Structure 1
């Protein structure tokens, strides 16, 4: 089969994706392709019900969609060339004239820290013409970085909607707030949702990059809060330049600092958020007055203010990192969480302090410290050992965080990381096993010694642990792992033409 050139995103599209959290794109399949696809979907959903995670094997033609140069190019651009498809796939039907509720999807429970950096993405594919009246998915731009819903249920003036012709799809940051819109036609609307994961940190741009320098949108066409330092940091990380703001050149003391300080007291939360954003851009190791203003802003009740303050403090070098570490140790949860995100961009200044915090007797502190260590560009052996030790912690929440972090940690594995992950595959908590399997999949050939535990995990009670184990065996890629995986897949093979409506013989 002819291999078509991937249609990678360009700089402007990547800048929009990083700031707004989504892109609406379209495949180039002919109408006949989608007509056949819709006929199969109608038959399966009417006669057999929703196939859930078996959507892809039940309707094999869908693989053509995800092999298309448009979708593969988009995913490669934001997740790198070694991304993997998650075992959770789902086809949503919408015939409801009432819009759905705004929500974020769960990875597997809502207790984990969400990644600002681009480790996950989602494709929402529309196989039929989807005008606004058919109820396309809607997203709130820029909210992929916000834990809280900072907009009203009916505040849809700046909602992005995935309306368009058959083959339109939304590429979204996994954590963006989204919903289904009102279907006013009385007809069914399909949306096919697939998740994808990055397996390694970026070493170079994987999109069509012509200018490696971050160019912030000069003006946004929607009234969303700006997070310029956060956006710049993510761009640099995705371009392989690292996600460390601590060495960023200071903007120095500035004539407008007094005005920004005044704006931090404004009753309008959006004004305060922009003041913190501007102060962050001026921040640096020598900007003492700005550092104190940002430390005060870190206590703000409005999440975008706290995030801008946290990333601004990350740009303040060791003194900023110390303020963030203290906030993780002693702050109330909303403040501590925002501070942890700032520490992910604080580089080497944060590492030693975060290792200390993993010894805390406070569950939240340990959870946040472990998360932040996993997001640093590179850490030493002491950090790896601290995280490995947490895989045996009494708290399941901390064990989940630890095994996930071990998959992201940018440190050479001397075998201890793989051994800890292999042992975690037998944890009593199914979410720990979920993350352990996924982390081993990310390790690829380095996880070879875990083959026996991965084979056992193929019979786990959790469908996702099984899926991650199979993916890990595929990525290990040795003769042993390939043979084990092939035997498993043949024994569990899904036959797409054996259905309750289809005689089994002949």
Structure 2
């Protein structure tokens, strides 16, 4: 098929409508914005594509710095509005991490959830809409050009990473063996062994294995879904927990050089919680009908899935759990106790195919209409020796909300680090910022022997502060949160990245005596200013500081001045480029939100600090509040 024929037959995928944005995201896990939704001229996408083609031919490293029109896309009013609804206002972009161009070609990737920390590092996976990914396509994407392959409805289900070291690095894998068996093979192109008809009709051994990997999970509703065709300027936003993969091209390989498929990817995270005063309308997630994009009949979704969707739809709107399930409201106490016991048994269902059953049981317990009863059973499950049961129980306790706080605090004192980790993480997503909660989290941050637990504690402080601002409960403790994070930064050290230290691919690194969590790949951009070093605790502490600085100077109280001095020192001396990116973002946000209250850093000083940096994460800094005009002064195409 010639490119001209493809163009004439081009029919784009159905795009997400504004009225379904939150419903589709919390159920399907993926939404797709049309070029018109963005609210910027089509010429912007043409310029991005043409400049990108030129840079590729000249073998330049492609960044937003040399193609500033991409920054205009990130500021597009329609895109910002959609992300505001899903991730809260003033959302941030993770710095220096995969926020760059990807091309499709002859190979497939295996199915995976992206590392949920920068460059292959491991963070806790939030079911709540805290971490999102955004894909931007500056050109048309035909069905033959290797559209991004996804697994809708998969974002709430995953696998053990605590004992299964195939998942030790940040990514979670589906059919990881494909990486060894087939990923290096060319499915298409001049080196392919397959007949063109088998390639075009998706009958190769690769296509079959990819489909089987999905259906073999036996999870409800899941099927492979290629996100295309798309028109130039389309944007996909999906939960950071959605399984996906890179896809091979199926068109004439002789056209690839002149007709590349580019994709930009950005990692977003929440800095503000939903308002408790948001819409409290409960959407009947068990009656959504035919999905307009995947064409899956959602009326057949099991209640183990729809109860999870119901919670997250309500949470995105209000930051709170929905009312108890209707059937629980009318149940007697004996009936509730009987159901709770049955759900507790369901929580212990075995094997990976029962993942939705376990998670569903946890959410149904949370919405049984009796928080004390739910917490009793979920708390027992939290202390089991099975990772998949503990994980489900953790999400269930989070869904219970503040009533689960005492149970989660108790977990932080467990002799078992995995239970301490679960307790600390759960407090961040469920609890109000109180002295007891803060003491439990800071105790683990300062004293826990596990790097993993300390890193989760560092991230939890940002989540607690974010919720305190939204609810007005605990804001007086935010300066203490900041102080704890600054103390942590003064103690924690960067280490040589695990891939460099262990001299192996990041996919195969393993825990060591020094560190029990994957801290990620080393990246220094070939600059003497940086070294390939990482620290999960430092990076999570700075992630939290960005969140807290996103609310201006007043909430920092007497911690403002030491915060500014610490951020400046990190920007000027830290050898970890990820640390520097977070610190710069936090500083930009403070100056942007409260320019008259940060006398140590005025606009001129901020520009001088930027000039001293040999590399810039402009997409991060633009979201932090830097102007496009400022960026243009640094980058001349």
- TM-score, normalised to structure 2, is 0.67
Deviation at 1:200, TM superposition (A): 1.7
Is 1:491 aligned with 2:591?
A: no
Deviates more, 1:417-426 or 1:213-222: 213-222
Match of residue 248, structure 1, among 303, 324, 333: 324
| Cα shift readout 1:174-225 (whole Å, capped 9, x = no counterpart) | 111111222123212111001111102111588xx7x833231513542766
Distance between the aligned counterparts of 1:285 and 1:135, measured in 2?
55
Distance between the aligned counterparts of 2:29 and 2:76, measured in 1?
22
Deviation at 1:494, TM superposition (A): 6.0
Task: Kindly report which structure 2 residues correspond to 1:14-29, keeping only aligned pairs within 5 A, or say none.
Answer: 14-28=22-36, 29=40
Aligned residues: 457
C-alpha contact (below 8 Å) 1:122/1:172 kept by paired residues: yes
Deviation at 1:98, TM superposition (A): 3.5
| Cα shift readout 1:14-42 (whole Å, capped 9, x = no counterpart) | 10111000111122355543332222112
Deviation at 1:379, TM superposition (A): 4.2
Distance between the aligned counterparts of 2:248 and 2:334, measured in 1?
50
C-alpha contact (below 8 Å) 1:94/1:190 kept by paired residues: yes
Distance between the aligned counterparts of 2:229 and 2:489, measured in 1?
42
C-alpha contact (below 8 Å) 2:349/2:358 kept by paired residues: yes
Residue matched to 1:222: 296
Distance between the aligned counterparts of 1:93 and 1:466, measured in 2?
24
Distance between the aligned counterparts of 1:34 and 1:120, measured in 2?
26
Q: CA RMSD in A?
A: 2.9
C-alpha spacing 1:82/1:377, structure 2 compared with 1 (3 Å)? farther
Is 1:231 aligned with 2:305?
A: no
Is 1:182 aligned with 2:225?
A: no
Could you list the runs of 5+ residues in structure 1 that have no partner in the other structure?
1-7, 255-281, 497-503
| Cα shift readout 1:206-263 (whole Å, capped 9, x = no counterpart) | 8xx7x833231513542766522222221222212x4336x62551499xxxxxxxxx
Residue matched to 1:423: 487
Is 1:358 aligned with 2:412?
A: yes
C-alpha contact (below 8 Å) 2:89/2:272 kept by paired residues: no
Residue matched to 2:538: 433
Match of residue 165, structure 1, among 207, 231, 240: 231
Deviation at 1:90, TM superposition (A): 3.1
Residue matched to 2:269: 197
SS at match of 1:195: strand
Residue matched to 1:479: 599
Residue matched to 2:511: none
Deviation at 1:482, TM superposition (A): 4.3
Is 1:406 aligned with 2:461?
A: yes
| Cα shift readout 1:438-472 (whole Å, capped 9, x = no counterpart) | 10111112342411111121132222111110111
C-alpha contact (below 8 Å) 1:86/1:196 kept by paired residues: yes
SS at match of 2:155: helix
Match of residue 365, structure 2, among 289, 313, 338: 313
Is 1:96 aligned with 2:105?
A: yes
Deviation at 1:337, TM superposition (A): 0.8
Distance between the aligned counterparts of 1:283 and 1:21, measured in 2?
35
Is 1:134 aligned with 2:203?
A: no
C-alpha contact (below 8 Å) 1:470/1:485 kept by paired residues: no
Deviation at 1:110, TM superposition (A): 5.4
Distance between the aligned counterparts of 2:569 and 2:580, measured in 1?
9
Distance between the aligned counterparts of 2:61 and 2:407, measured in 1?
49
SS at match of 1:182: coil
Distance between the aligned counterparts of 1:75 and 1:216, measured in 2?
22
Residue matched to 2:129: 118
SS at match of 2:440: helix
Is 1:457 aligned with 2:570?
A: yes
Distance between the aligned counterparts of 1:491 and 1:150, measured in 2?
43
Distance between the aligned counterparts of 1:455 and 1:137, measured in 2?
39
Deviation at 1:422, TM superposition (A): 1.0
Q: Which structure would you say has the larger RCO, counting Cα contacts within 8 Å and 6 or more residues apart?
A: 2
C-alpha spacing 1:252/1:31, structure 2 compared with 1 (3 Å)? closer
Deviates more, 1:331-340 or 1:215-224: 215-224
Distance between the aligned counterparts of 1:39 and 1:140, measured in 2?
31
Is 1:292 aligned with 2:292?
A: no
Distance between the aligned counterparts of 2:270 and 2:61, measured in 1?
28
SS at match of 2:94: strand
Is 1:442 aligned with 2:547?
A: yes
Could you list the runs of 5+ residues in structure 2 that have no partner in the other structure?
1-15, 160-172, 176-208, 215-222, 469-473, 495-534, 592-597, 619-634
Match of residue 381, structure 1, among 435, 454, 460: 435
Deviation at 1:124, TM superposition (A): 0.4
Distance between the aligned counterparts of 2:478 and 2:20, measured in 1?
40
C-alpha spacing 1:100/1:129, structure 2 compared with 1 (3 Å)? same
Distance between the aligned counterparts of 1:235 and 1:423, measured in 2?
37
Task: Kindly report which structure 2 residues correspond to 1:151-162, keeping only aligned pairs within 5 A, or say none.
Answer: 153-155=210-212, 157-162=223-228
SS at match of 1:45: helix
Distance between the aligned counterparts of 2:234 and 2:433, measured in 1?
41
SS at match of 2:64: helix
